[in-house]
């Protein structure tokens, strides 16, 4: 069974030979391949080479195209500056005031720069690895994109004081997100990741009223494009899982501070969970033994059936190679028995 088949069988509740492993690699992979994180964000060829090199070493199941949260923001016209060893910086909010919404427009992918770079990366992945690996495209979710256009503080205030502004912005950004998802699927992506980390900061009431409708629309658009949708929200989202379970998402990433067993009970059998051990205290600062112990516990809490293993968020720069190898199915894996046995009873 190859990686693409393994992931899609898990999503369908069908048998697999082992649990899929789908970590998020960015800066770590760039450094492993001899590049800077800045180059990884700026050039699809560097991103693809870095991920392929990491996959050759660790044999994980999904090639990802996320690099930073500012691709769409830059294409809308915000000033985003290059940084060699850190995430690109947005120098000033594009939407400093409500009237600035006129700066936004619906645009074909050919008129973008950084999103078009992502398309080229997916095309390269698809040409060289599309018959084997799952390929994850990426877009920013409704609240995440609003925050990068507006600033986090202003965006949160707007949700309380002028939510109509948020919805007016989303009417444009989510139309583009759906269209750009279709472009990524056409290029070879079989799954679209949606980053919406700021959602962890809102109440269930705010989520249901203002964000859930956009998530539903976005995931419907991804499905209509022919792909599966994977939602990544950093932080504690225990309070939101009942509502997220209604969104139509296929895969929900579970960060390390969430009760994974509780999330499994609440989400039910229809949603695949990816997670979840602490990427810093366990993965970066731990030992191969402690990483393996945490990963095995995650398999018990999240499976069997619709579950994929990953740290709760990105693998940090400076993480020891042997710690990553401990939970990945390549050379040095310490949990292969758990990966195979945990997949033995599909839901």
Ordered domains of the chain (ranges, CATH): 3-341 (3.20.20.210)
Average pLDDT for the chain: 96
Q: In the 8-state DSSP scheme, what is residue 245?
A: T
**Band of the pLDDT at 344, cuts 50, 70, 90?**
low
pLDDT value of residue 347: 41
pLDDT higher than threshold 90 for residue 73: yes
pLDDT value of residue 198: 96
pLDDT higher than threshold 60 for residue 345: no
pLDDT higher than threshold 60 for residue 79: yes
pLDDT higher than threshold 50 for residue 170: yes
Local structure of 228: helix, strand or coil: strand
CB atoms within 10 A of CB 128: 13
- Edge to edge, the sheet with strand 62-64 lists 62-64, 134-140, 191-195, 228-232, 251-254, 272-275, 307-309
* Cα–Cα nearest to 184, from 281, 238, 117: 117
pLDDT value of residue 305: 83
| Lowest-confidence segment of 98-112, 304-318, 333-347 by average pLDDT | 333-347
Over residues 55-78, mean pLDDT: 97
Say which residues have a Cβ less than 8 Å from residue 80's Cβ, sequence separation at least 6.
70, 73, 74, 88, 89, 90, 91
In degrees, rounded to 5, the angle at the alpha carbon of residue 74 between the alpha carbons of residues 71 and 75 is 85
**Band of the pLDDT at 346, cuts 50, 70, 90?**
very low
User: What backbone phi and psi angles, to 5 degrees, belong to 254?
Assistant: -115, 115
**Band of the pLDDT at 342, cuts 50, 70, 90?**
confident
């Amino acid at each position: 069974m190859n990686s693409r088949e393994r992931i899609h069988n898990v999503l369908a509740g069908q048998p697999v030979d082992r649990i899929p492993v789908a970590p998020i690699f960015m800066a770590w992979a760039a450094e492993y391949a001899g590049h800077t994180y800045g180059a990884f964000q700026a050039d699809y060829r560097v991103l693809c080479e870095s991920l392929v090199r990491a996959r050759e070493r660790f044999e994980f199941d999904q090639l990802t195209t996320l690099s930073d949260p500012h691709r769409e923001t830059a294409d809308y016209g915000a000033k985003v500056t290059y940084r060699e060893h850190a995430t690109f910086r947005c120098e000033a909010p594009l939407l400093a005031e409500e009237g600035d919404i006129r700066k936004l427009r619906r645009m074909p992918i050919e008129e973008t720069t950084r999103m078009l770079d992502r398309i080229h990366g997916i095309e390269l992945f698809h040409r060289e690895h599309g018959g084997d690996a799952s390929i994850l495209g990426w877009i920013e979710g409704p609240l995440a994109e609003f925050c990068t256009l507006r600033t986090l503080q202003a965006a949160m205030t707007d949700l309380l004081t002028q939510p109509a502004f948020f919805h007016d912005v989303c009417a444009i950004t989510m139309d583009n997100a759906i269209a750009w998802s279709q472009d990524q699927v056409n290029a070879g992506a079989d799954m679209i990741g949606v980053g919406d980390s700021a959602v962890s900061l809102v109440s269930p009431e705010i989520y249901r009223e203002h964000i859930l409708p956009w998530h539903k629309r976005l995931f419907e658009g991804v499905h209509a494009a022919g792909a599966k949708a994977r939602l990544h929200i950093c932080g504690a989202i225990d309070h939101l899982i009942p509502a997220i379970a209604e969104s139509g998402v296929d895969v929900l990433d579970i960060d390390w501070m969430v009760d994974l067993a509780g999330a499994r009970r609440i989400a039910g059998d229809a949603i695949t969970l990816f997670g979840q051990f602490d990427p810093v205290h366990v993965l970066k600062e731990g030992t191969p033994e402690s990483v393996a112990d945490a990963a095995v516990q995650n398999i018990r809490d999240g499976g069997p059936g619709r579950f994929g293993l990953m740290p709760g968020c990105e693998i940090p720069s400076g993480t020891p190679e042997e710690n990553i190898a401990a939970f990945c199915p390549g050379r040095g894996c310490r949990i292969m028995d758990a990966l195979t046995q945990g997949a033995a009873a599909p839901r």
